[in-house]
Amino acid sequence: MPRNSPLRLLLIAGARPNFMKVAPVLAALRSGRAEKRVETRLVHTGQHYDEGMSKVFFEELELPQPDVHLEVGSGTHSVQTALVLTRLEPVIVEWRPDIVVVVGDVNSTIAGALAAAKLNVRVAHVEAGLRSFDRTMPEEINRLLTDQIAQWLFVTEPSGVENLRREGRPEEAIHLVGNVMIDSLRRFLPAAQKKTVLPRLGLATSSGEARPYVLATLHRPSNVDAPESLEPVLGGLAEAGREAAVVLPVHPRTAERLERFGLGHYFSADWNEHGRGVKLLPPLGYLEFLQLQSRAAAVVTDSGGVQEETTALGVPCFTVRDSTERPITISQGTNTLVGSDMDAMIRGVREALAGRGKRGRVPDLWDGNAAERIAAVLLREG
């Protein structure tokens, strides 16, 4: 039967990766025929809260200002999760949404799902089913628990469907819709290419073309929380810096560890006489980072989202982890797991710099329309 009132959807986001995922979903729900059939509110939990990790993303992704800001701030996993739970509960009670939509795998994701479930509100999980099978990763626990709570499971790749079936989730709850991260990438790549980050960093030739460089990102606790794990990775980047310029936009977690462990000597203030070396950068906005990814000869990372973005961009990616929850980036895309084997990473970077890096192909349904498919399912079934 047709609904007599608009479908109320409360969307939860809190950390930098969430913003790229929630933006296209919110846009799809607030446009076209959907706009008259739904009411939406956006909650920013404040898990990432500073300008470099939050504010600039709202501006560049054309996200409206959140309707509610929980301002939970930094803290341990338990503290963040508890604060989101306690501060989100009265929001749900007051507004009474029909569905709470959570994205990704961060603390805000599981806390939003739990808060809704305890109030008997249905949950939709965007980016469901991904599994690294490494339960030492806090994100893996968040994924597993959120997917047991959610009534709608929106999946980015076929492995996610298989995982959810194996875990006993009902077939009617599982929807293979594609990747909302790639929705954002496709929409904003033209704007990203107009940025001037390359000449500003000395990574462009006089004619404006990119000269060969490597982009790196590091933030996972397993890589940065102890000097015995962080220093070998930095040594690998330094070795890559003998081959080409290496840029490392530094996550706040990583910046604090670098200072605490006294590892600043791996970086230089400027490129050497051959235009090489390793430079630290402050956190970048979405558009500047996207431009850096798209023009890089290679990317070295421990980020899940970067594995997907480099696959969509056709840029060789070397992941400093022993497992990935996004296996399609390896089987079809440009990703290679190198774990802690920095020799393998350096060999791969050399191949990429020589133009022989892995290119792969863009997976099916990574076409920029995932959010529209999600909106259609929620409108049909909500």
Which residues are the active-site residues?
219
CB proximity list for 8: less than 8 A, separation 6 or greater = 38, 39, 40, 41, 95, 96, 97, 98, 99
Per-residue CA distances from 13 to 35, 111, 306, 352 (Å)? 20, 11, 18, 35
Q: How far is CA 370 from the centre of its chain?
A: 15
Backbone angles phi, psi at 41, to 5 degrees: -135, 140
**Distance in angstroms (rounded) separating the CA atoms of residues 301 and 248:** 10
Strand order in the sheet with 335-337: 277-281, 245-249, 213-216, 298-301, 317-319, 335-337
Phi, psi for 125 (deg, rounded to 5): -110, 115
How far is 102 from 6, CA to CA, in rounded Å?
Answer: 20
